[in-house]
Amino acid sequence: MTTTLITGANKGLGFESARRLVAAGHTVYIGARDAERGRRAAEQIGARSVQLDVTDDASVQAAAKTIGADGGLDVLVNNAGIEVRAEDNSIPTAGDTTADEMRTVFDTNVFGVVRVTHAFLPLLQRSAAPVVVNVSSGLASLTGLSSPDSPAHFYQAVAYPSSKTAVNMITVQYAKAFPDMRINAVEPGFTATDLNGRTGTQTVEEGAEIIVRMAQLGPDGPTGGYFDVNGPLPW
Ligand code: NAP
């Protein structure tokens, strides 16, 4: 039996990934910062739920203790993420970016990934086939955002893409440190969720595809890579 934790899984891509992995036979924990939202989401799809705020050490430690006591963890999906937008859903420009905005975004998207991974490493190390999926973004790609021909080139904000570039580097470094684990970063594609005011062009079913696929990697699968649904992406 494979046990999987997905952070930020009470809605959006995390919830759809949870639904699909339950259907594939995983025991799935929906990590949610709001325990009640997590409980309701889990109930809909036959998952379990655990209170988990990726910005809060005590919450993450308690979740690791609970899941450890229940029997351990095989797959960790670091999915919780935020993008700071204005009231009218516009994206802050480079000129508007403040250190406070950076800190807020990095606290969830970057430090959250490290906080959760660090707390769950002892459980993953006890698994026969440990897997980590870090939900990155196409906007993480230095190649994409610096090349005028790329569809991502238009994107002006500083905090969100740099946080996801950091997630990619974190993925590479953990993958080198833990060669017995499959640790990859994924780009779901531009998906209609609350994160972008539902302006995304894909459905959550389409967006979750690469998350679900990489969560089910066997020990012979790739590690230390950055993938979308069509294959490896340029860093
Ligand atoms: P979403 O619908 O807004 O879901 C984000 C989830 O993260 C929610 O469950 C939210 O919980 C949770 N979350 C936020 N801060 C948290 C915290 N401190 N602790 C625990 N959970 C927290 O957005 P989404 O589009 O599904 O995003 C999922 C991931 O995909 C993110 O990492 C995002 O960057 C990435 N991504 C999205 C797209 C896209 O086009 N949608 C593209 C590329 C990458 P609450 O309900 O409590 O707020």
The binding-site residues of ligand 1, defined as CB within 6 angstroms of any ligand atom, are 7-8, 10-14, 33-34, 37, 52-55, 79-82, 108, 135, 137, 187-188, 190-191, 193-196, 200
Tokens (6 digits) for 118: 């660090």
Which one of 11, 202, 205 would you pick to mutate in the ligand 1 pocket, going by the greatest count of ligand atoms within 8 A of its CB? 11
Catalytic (active-site) positions: 160, 164
Determine which helix (DSSP H) or strand (DSSP E) holds 51, and give its type and residue range.
strand 48-51
H-state helical runs in the chain: 12-23, 35-45, 57-70, 99-106, 112-125, 142-146, 159-177, 204-215
For the stretch 229-232, contacts whose Cβ atoms lie closer than 8 Å and that sit 24 or more positions apart, written own/partner, are: 229/189
Q: What is the pLDDT of residues 110-137, one digit of tens each?
A: 999 999 999 999 999 999 999 999 999 9
CB 49 within 8 A of CB 29: yes
Q: How many helices (H) and strands (E) does the chain have?
A: 8, 8
CA of 78 relative to ligand 1 center, distance in Å = 10
Q: What is the pLDDT of residues 47-101, one digit of tens each?
A: 999 999 999 999 999 999 999 999 999 999 999 999 998 888 888 999 999 999 9
pTM for this prediction: 0.98
CA of 8 relative to ligand 1 center, distance in Å = 6
Average pLDDT over residues 171-181: 98
What is the average pLDDT score of the chain? 97
CA of 142 relative to ligand 1 center, distance in Å = 22
**What residue's CA is closest to ligand 1, atom 3?**
195
Average pLDDT over residues 139-152: 95
The predicted structure's pLDDT at residue 89: 83
What structural domains and CATH numbers belong to the chain? Answer: 3-232 (3.40.50.720)
C-alpha distances in Å from residue 117, one per residue of 38, 93, 148, 156, 163 = 20, 31, 35, 30, 16
